[in-house]
DNA sequence: GACAATCAGGACCGTTGGGGTCCGGTTAAG
DNA sequence: CTTAACCGGACCCCAACGGTCCTGATTGTC
């Protein structure tokens, strides 16, 4: 169903959590795990991927943790997906991977998926995490983080 | 990588093949398999799904086969994906599937993926198979179907 | 200077679902 | 009646993903 990975979903949750500047500017992965309800090892994995993509910066050692590298209005869904799932390409038959398709000499749509890939990339590149956080969300759901943490403990 | 299934790829190939009106208006799945290089059972499976979605019409019995129900300029990629992979929804957290997410009481992006889903649907709904077939494809690749069949035999 | 906290980067499994195959039944042409 | 073709399942296999864990490297704190 054109599913995108659950990890990406988590990544969005984590990034939005990280954007809450009202708390410590640097947050640890166990802390984020506790706050979001996502298992700690998974949070760590997501954070590592986001770090590799330079979406977050890490601080090692005692009192270390993670912080955002850009504000969320500068981060698009496409960025997150690319960070977690790799480059956005819907099929194996994208340009550059030539020769992988064993029926390509017959295939009538050879290379035609680029049109679709571009459309997807454009659509995804036009949505920022800031929009996902705020846009038309009932106030009830708008980051009642503190209360949730308390409830989770 | 936001991969869409190979079956969908095949479906596009099959539909484009089916659109070649220069041959029999009704084509059999073995015939399409031969022409496209896709294994016959797989072609049959794709055709069944397309039939269930009313993208193709089937004629049973001897001298039966499949034919298009609409011209390709009226069929979008979104239609094909929906026919093969089910409704387009990137995550499990879409509206209507309420209660499946065990962290939803903490999740800060509750329901926010709708924004992304809509963007994808719009992007995919704007591309027709006719565009995928013709748009800027070098003439060399433009359905030299007859030659290919001959070569495949 | 020793210790503790925290990230880094792998290796490691279990499960899921897609990809592919096959079979019995049904329909319709000849 | 025979044959050709679709129909609708059931079925299996494997790769990929989600999730976990372990062992280092780094840095602040006592």
Binning pLDDT at 50, 70 and 90, where does residue A54 land?
very high
DSSP secondary structure letters along A113-128: HHHHHHHHHHHHHT-B
Distance in angstroms (rounded) separating the CA atoms of residues A107 and A125: 30
Cβ <8 Å between A119 and B123: yes
pLDDT tens per residue, range A1-44: 677 888 998 899 899 989 986 667 789 999 999 888 889 999 99
Indicate the SS3 state at residue B42.
helix
How many other CB atoms are there within 10 angstroms of residue B20's CB atom?
Answer: 15
Give the list of residues 6+ apart from residue B132 with CB closer than 8 angstroms, or none. A109, A112, A113, A115, A116, B12, B16, B77
| Residues of chain A positioned with their CB less than 8 A from the CB of B131 | 115
Angle ∠(A7,A9,A10) on CA atoms, nearest 5:
65
Binning pLDDT at 50, 70 and 90, where does residue B45 land?
very high
Average of per-residue pLDDT values in chain B: 77
Distance in angstroms (rounded) separating the CA atoms of residues A48 and A41: 11
Burial of A41 (0-12, 13-18, 19+ CB in 10 A): exposed
pLDDT tens per residue, range A32-42: 998 888 899 99
Lowest-pLDDT range, A71-75, A119-123, B120-124, B130-134? B130-134
Query: Does the global pTM surpass 0.85?
Result: no
| Residues of chain A positioned with their CB less than 8 A from the CB of B19 | none
pLDDT higher at B51 or A20: B51
Search chain A and give the residue with CA nearest B152.
A106
List residues, Cβ < 7 Å, touching strand D: A 5-8, 10, 39, 41-42, 44-45, 59-64, 85; B 1, 3, 28-30, 44-45, 47-48, 51-52, 58-66
Residue A139, pLDDT above cutoff 50: no
Binning pLDDT at 50, 70 and 90, where does residue A118 land?
confident
Mean pLDDT of B44-53: 94
Lowest-pLDDT range, A59-73, A138-152, B129-143? A138-152
């Amino acid at each position: 169903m054109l599913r995108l990975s659950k990890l990406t979903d988590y990544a969005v949750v984590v990034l939005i959590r990280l954007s809450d500047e009202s708390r410590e500017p640097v947050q640890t992965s166990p802390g984020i795990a506790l706050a979001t309800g996502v298992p700690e090892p998974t949070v760590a994995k997501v954070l590592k991927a986001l770090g590799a993509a330079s979406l977050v910066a890490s601080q090692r050692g005692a009192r270390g943790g993670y912080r955002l590298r850009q504000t969320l209005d500068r981060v698009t869904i496409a960025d997150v997906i690319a960070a977690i799932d790799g480059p956005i390409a819907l099929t194996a038959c994208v340009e550059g991977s030539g020769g992988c398709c064993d029926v390509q000499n017959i295939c009538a749509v050879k290379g035609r998926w680029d049109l679709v890939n571009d459309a997807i990339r454009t659509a995804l590149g036009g949505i920022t995490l800031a929009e996902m956080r705020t846009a038309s969300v009932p106030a009830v759901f708008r980051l009642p983080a503190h209360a949730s943490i308390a409830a989770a403990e």
